[in-house]
Amino acid sequence: LGPIKLGIIGCGIAARDLHFPVLQSLKDKFKIVMVCNHTEQKAREFAEMAGGVPWTLDYKELLKNPEVEAVDITLPIHMNYETVKNAVRFKKHVIVEKPLAANIEEAKKLASIEKHYKGVLMVAENYRYSPLYLKAGEMIKEGLIGELYGAFWDIFRRMDPDNKYAKTRWRIEHQYEGGFITDAGIHNIAVLRTLCGDFSTGIAAIESINPGIGKMDSMSFLFATSHMVKGVLNIYYSVDGYREDKLLLIGTEGTIIVEDGSRITLKKEGDQDTVADFPESGGYLEEFEDFYKAVRGGGKVLSTFHEAYMDLTVMLGAIHSAEGKPVKA
């Protein structure tokens, strides 16, 4: 059958900087046959970059193209619901960027399609495929830290207004719940659910330090999971003068530290630390390989709509808990 004939909907940062390089390295598996962006310059430039493929300003035109077997949706988050629904109507395989939808109702409706849909539906939650976090999961399963009982993840950074993501207006005037907390924090929830089990309860406190980057930018989320893991996820995007990304996984016989999205350290009392570096741990290559395998081989993807729906339920549950509503997993 050859490479999957792919249409790209949305020619922005994710498509250009994250997906395109991977698709270039997987030319035996993917062939971009059409692209869409509602503004002409971006559509033209991407089409040119992809080897002079046809482009359109209207994504429904791309969906109508019978040559397009699968679509890669990299649009502003609030557009995911409508676009995925239309892609399904046209019987395309779908890979859509995270989070699945702008709110729980829409995510639930999309997840319900998965049960009976004949094509492949996948959310591009690259952290699910990151060799770094997969390694942490293996270490836990191998029993290297005994029983995991604590997970503490600190993400402290400053989201400057000139950051490329902060420059996209749809993120600042967000029509999806949670702003950057949801947009980026959904990755952390995906990892925590994978490593620690489903969330059973939790409560968050939320703050807006810099309203210039959206309705909220700071959150502490205290949680417990069905695997009896307790922990705190701290996401602070307006921290002045300090930066950290550190996940501490505490077990009865040791501790795993995952730092800066690239290094794992195993610490055990009385032993030398074991350190491993994962410079290429984005998970983008692996997610597209999984998508290919499912489309051509007929299997199930790791990052299903259902998992993405569950991630969003926890993320928005945390946000709602800060408004006085309890988290429901």
CA-CA distance, 70 to 72, in Å (whole number)?
A: 7
- Among the candidate windows 75-83, 192-200, 216-224, 248-256, which touches ligand NAP by CB under 6 A? 75-83
Q: Which amino acid is at 72?
A: D
Q: How far is the CB of 170 from ligand NAP (least distance, A)?
A: 6
- Interface residue with ligand NAP among 4, 6, 8, 11 (CB under 6 A) is 11
- Among the candidate windows 69-77, 202-210, 241-249, 299-307, which touches ligand NAP by CB under 6 A? 69-77
- Interface residue with ligand NAP among 3, 5, 26, 38 (CB under 6 A) is 38
129 binds ligand NAP (CB under 6 A): no
Output the residue with the shortest Cβ distance to ligand NAP: 12
Contacts of 239 (CB under 8 A, 6+ apart): 156, 157, 158
39 binds ligand NAP (CB under 6 A): yes
Q: Binding to ligand NAP (CB under 6 A): which residues in 47-66? A: 59
Report the SS3 class of residue 27.
coil
Please, which residue, 37 or 281, has the CB nearer to ligand NAP? 37
- Interface residue with ligand NAP among 7, 76, 178, 185 (CB under 6 A) is 76
Beta-carbon-side half-sphere exposure of residue 28 (alpha carbons within 13 Å): 2
Location of structure tokens 């994710």: 14
CA-CA distance, 17 to 8, in Å (whole number)?
A: 13
Q: Binding to ligand NAP (CB under 6 A): which residues in 80-109? A: 97-98
- Among the candidate windows 33-41, 132-140, 153-161, 288-296, which touches ligand NAP by CB under 6 A? 33-41
CA distances from 211 to 29, 218, 320 (A): 43, 11, 19
Q: Binding to ligand NAP (CB under 6 A): which residues in 176-235? A: 183
- Interface residue with ligand NAP among 7, 10, 178, 317 (CB under 6 A) is 10
- Interface residue with ligand NAP among 29, 74, 231, 236 (CB under 6 A) is 74
Please, which residue, 18 or 203, has the CB nearer to ligand NAP? 18
Q: How far is the CB of 14 from ligand NAP (least distance, A)?
A: 3
- Of 294, 318, 247, 284, which Cα lies nearest the Cα of 98? 284
CA-CA distance, 129 to 241, in Å (whole number)?
A: 31
Please spell the DSSP secondary structure of 223-282, one letter per residue.
EEETTS-EEEEEEESB-SS--EEEEEEEETTEEEEEETTTEEEEE-TTS--EEEE-SS--
CA-CA distance, 264 to 247, in Å (whole number)?
A: 9
Which residues would be at the binding site for ligand NAP (CB under 6 A)? 10-14, 18, 36-39, 42, 59, 74-77, 97-98, 124, 126, 165, 168, 183
